[in-house]
A and B are shown apart, each in its own frame.
Chain A
Amino acid sequence: MIIAERKPIEEILGLLSKHQKVLVLGCGGCVTVCLAGGEKEVGILSSQLTMARSKEERPLEIVQKTIERQCDFEYFEGIRHIVKDVDAILSLACGIGIQTCAEAFPDKIVWPGVNTKFLGVNLNVGEWAERCQACGQCVLDKTGGICPVARCSKSIFNGPCGGSQDGKCEVSPDTDCAWALIHDRLTRLGEVDSLREILPVKDWSYSRDGGPRKLVREDLELESGK
């Protein structure tokens, strides 16, 4: 899932400073699960914002809404009537949702209410960790299901490097060495010899190498387009 964190309140208050009426728009997807921008966070943030502005004697009217997902255009259709009446939208979706929102409402100011952090996993209540960098050509089959791109601080493919100590990465004692994890897991599975295989260098052309990526699946396309 995409992990995000709400922006500091002063920053959001700054973004909204010139508005009198805004829509605080939550997303029912990833940001609901990571407690950054779902219905409840929309409620709490809206309370904080209205109180802060009331204290400054510059009231802010807030409309609250959370849609199914902000990364799909169709879910914005049902809120057009709300958007029409507000000065701006504060989107609590991830960076993808915020941009889709802005694209859906080209004449409306859309502000980001969260910082999108990474693609990750929920380890514990209030604790998340990065797991994938969407490199475009997954190598998990070669690495015991542990990603060297996202979880090795140097994204190397021939680790561990000299900085690996007692299973930890030299970057921080809190960070597991991905290559120690890979080695341990493959040992456990009786597959450690597979690491002896000499692999060709990773083809980064599937990653950011060619600029923004796009995926088109002709088998799924309909004549009407989006």
Chain B
Amino acid sequence: MSANADFQPKIIVFACENSGWLAAEHAAELALSYPERVELIKLPCSGKIDVLFFMKALEKADGTIVLACQKENCKFIKGNIRAAQRVKQTENLLKEIGIEPERVGLYYLAANMGHKFVEIIQNFYDKIRELGPNPGKVIK
């Protein structure tokens, strides 16, 4: 547990509309709950994610992830591969300025995985809670 037990991370989740976004809807249908300070942003494909989106997200959040279709199952063939590349690039940009690269991530899931969606969000949330607040946050 982090030193600050009251710390509630803010997380921005970019979700592919063919997997992560539908999984979030599935989770809602199942009435599953996940932490409050999680903001979801819909993408037409995980490949639409951009280093700039992650960086902008981290100006105001403690962590950010992209939810992509399972490997080899991207509707646009290479979107999830591109997403992985952009996560790597963002990790490097964060390392350069001494911010933990773990604050950005990529998770794979399918549209019918409501439970998996909640598990991913909860695990990432807990991980960021352990890490503590993003020291580079600009908008506090």
Binding site for B on A (CB under 8 A): 8-10, 40, 43-44, 47-48, 50-52, 54-55, 59
Interface of A: prevailing SS: helix
Partner of A50, one of B59, B93, B96, B98: B59
Q: Are B52 and A9 in contact (CB under 8 A)?
A: no
Complex Cα gap A138–B86 (Å) = 41
Task: Evaluate contact between B52 and A43: CB separation under 8 angstroms.
Answer: yes
| In the complex, the 10 A-B pairs of residues with the closest C-beta atoms, listed nearest first | A51-B136, A47-B55, A52-B97, A55-B135, A55-B136, A9-B96, A43-B52, A50-B138, A54-B138, A44-B52
Given contact pairs A54-B135, A55-B97, A55-B135, enumerate 17 new A-B contacts (beta carbons under 8 Å).
A9-B97, A43-B52, A43-B56, A44-B52, A44-B93, A47-B55, A47-B56, A47-B58, A47-B59, A48-B93, A48-B96, A48-B97, A50-B136, A51-B55, A52-B97, A52-B98, A55-B98
- A120 vs chain B, min Cβ distance (A): 23
Residues of B with C-beta under 8 A to A9 = 96-97
Tell me the B residues contacting A by CB distance below 8 Å: 50-52, 55-56, 58-59, 93, 96-99, 135-138
Contact B136 A54 (CB under 8 A): yes
Which residues of A have CB within 8 Å of B52? 40, 43-44, 47
* Total A-B pairs, Cβ < 8 A: 46
19 A-B residue pairs with Cβ-Cβ distance under 8 Å, sorted by A, are A9-B97, A40-B50, A43-B52, A43-B55, A44-B51, A47-B52, A47-B56, A47-B58, A47-B59, A48-B96, A48-B97, A51-B99, A51-B136, A51-B137, A52-B97, A54-B135, A55-B98, A55-B99, A55-B136
CA distance A50 to B140 in the complex (A): 13
Bound Cα distance from A50 to B137, whole angstroms: 9
Q: Give min CB distance, B107 to chain A, whole Å.
A: 23
B55 touches A48 (CB 8 A): yes
What distance in Å separates the Cβ of A71 from its nearest Cβ neighbour in chain B?
A: 25
Asked if B55 contacts A44 (CB within 8 A), the reply is yes
- Which residues from B are CB-within-8-Å of A48? 55, 93, 96-97
- Given A40-B52, A47-B52, A47-B55, A54 and B96 touching (CB < 8 A)? no
* CB of A40, distance to nearest CB on chain B (Å): 6
> In whole angstroms, how far apart are the Cα atoms of A60 and B50 in the complex?
23
State the CA gap A54–B50 with chains docked (Å). 22
Closest to B135 in A: A55
Given contacts A40-B52, A43-B52, A44-B52, contact A51 B58 (CB under 8 A): yes
User: Please, which residue of chain B has its CB at the minimum distance from the CB of A62?
Assistant: B138
Most buried by B among A10, A40, A43, A54: A54
Measured CB to CB, the closest approach of chain A to B136, in angstroms, equals 3
